[in-house]
Amino acid sequence: MLQQLLQLVLAGLTVGSGYALVALGIHIILRATRVINFAQGEFVILGGLLAYTAVSACHLSVLVALPLATAAGFAIGLLFERLVIRPAERSGELTATIATIGTVYVLLYGHALIWGSLPQPLPFFSGGDRDVVWHAGGVEIAAQQIWVVGLLAAALAALWFFFERTTYGKAIRAAADNPLGARLVGIDVDRARAISVAIAIALAAFGGTIIGPITLVGGAAGVAISIKGFVGAIVGGLDSPIGCTLGGLFVGVLEQLLEAPFSYGIADPVVYSLLLAMLLVRPQGLLGSRRAVRD
């Protein structure tokens, strides 16, 4: 029983890592632009598909495909900001948020056109077609699960370092905190926002590549990934990076715990109801601040 529980928690943390990266991406874009990007999950899929192409068509190792997909995500993020968010935002943040919903469908059908509508496999990072599995106290631990959680931790450390310890990271936070104030000290606010969006999309592509070997990549999964990441962000607190991370992990674990004992299909309604409940009862999230909701 305990082993089973641990098994599910481990699986939950693995999927939840993907949601955590989505939630963080939503947080970063919201901070910088006041737009909620509902297409975040679609960029997860896109990153995974690009990695799939790098592996299957270019015969690269998936460990090489990972930084490539992440860098491609960064570049695509710059385009996304320039072509969708910035122009739409001239008519207001709500317009831009709706434009991100439009982006979901452009990407969804775009992916199907290029890669077909069936999900594609990505090789496991240390096993190729079959993952390496260890047994510890009756719990099966797959190497990919370690990869996912470890790479999530690495991404978080890199983000923390960038935003807390580098001048440019602080300038981006300043531009998000007060764009007018940022202009007064000579920060190029438009560029700071573009870089923020690019970082968020790079994170999504990174997430798609590390989770891909477990979930397959492609198909219509992006919408659910977006919403679950969003639920994680709301549960943890949209304005709190730590809250977003823990919230995403929590949604992953909850989903696994609900899916196993009950028939398939109960996890989604519960997770989505959680979204409503949180918005009604504690809109700032468990770790967010009141200030974030008011302004």
Partner 1 sequence: MAALLELRGVHAGYGRLAVLHGVSIDVQAGELVAVLGPNGAGKSTLLRTISRFEATLSAGSVRFDGRDLAARTPEAIVRDGLLHVPEGRQLFAGLSVDDNLRLGGYTRPRAGLEQAVADTYARFPMLAERRSQEAFSLSGGEQQMLAIARALIARPRLLMLDEPSTGLAPQIVEGIFELVRDLKRAGTAVLLVEQNAYLTLKNADRAYVLENGSIALAGSAAELARDERVQAIYLGGAADEAGE
Tell me, what amino acid is at 256?
Q
Closer residue to partner 1 in complex, CB, 4/91: 91
**How far, rounded to the nearest angstrom, does the alpha carbon of residue 265 sit from its chain's CA centroid?**
23
**What is the residue-wise DSSP string for 142-187?**
EHHHHHHHHHHHHHHHHHHHHHHHSHHHHHHHHHHH-HHHHHHTT-
Q: How far is the CB of 187 from partner 1 (least distance, A)?
A: 6
Closer residue to partner 1 in complex, CB, 130/291: 291
DSSP 211: H
Closer residue to partner 1 in complex, CB, 111/173: 173
Closer residue to partner 1 in complex, CB, 169/247: 169
Q: How far is the CB of 185 from partner 1 (least distance, A)?
A: 5
Closer residue to partner 1 in complex, CB, 24/225: 24
Q: CA-CA distances (angstroms) from residue 108 to 39, 75, 93, 119, 199?
A: 10, 19, 23, 12, 21
Q: How far is the CB of 97 from partner 1 (least distance, A)?
A: 22
Q: CA-CA distances (angstroms) from residue 292 to 25, 119, 163, 177, 208?
A: 17, 38, 19, 11, 29
- CB neighbourhood size of 185 (10 A): 10
At residue 91's C-alpha, the angle toward residues 197 and 294, to 5°, is 70
Closer residue to partner 1 in complex, CB, 146/174: 174
Residue whose tokens read 């440019």: 168
Q: How far is the CB of 256 from partner 1 (least distance, A)?
A: 35
Residue whose tokens read 């949180």: 278
Q: How far is the CB of 278 from partner 1 (least distance, A)?
A: 23
Closer residue to partner 1 in complex, CB, 167/263: 167
Q: How far is the CB of 186 from partner 1 (least distance, A)?
A: 3
Q: Are 108 and 42 in contact (CB under 8 A)?
A: yes
Where along the sequence are the contacts to partner 1 (CB under 8 A)?
Answer: 167, 170-171, 173-174, 177-178, 180-188
Q: How far is the CB of 91 from partner 1 (least distance, A)?
A: 16
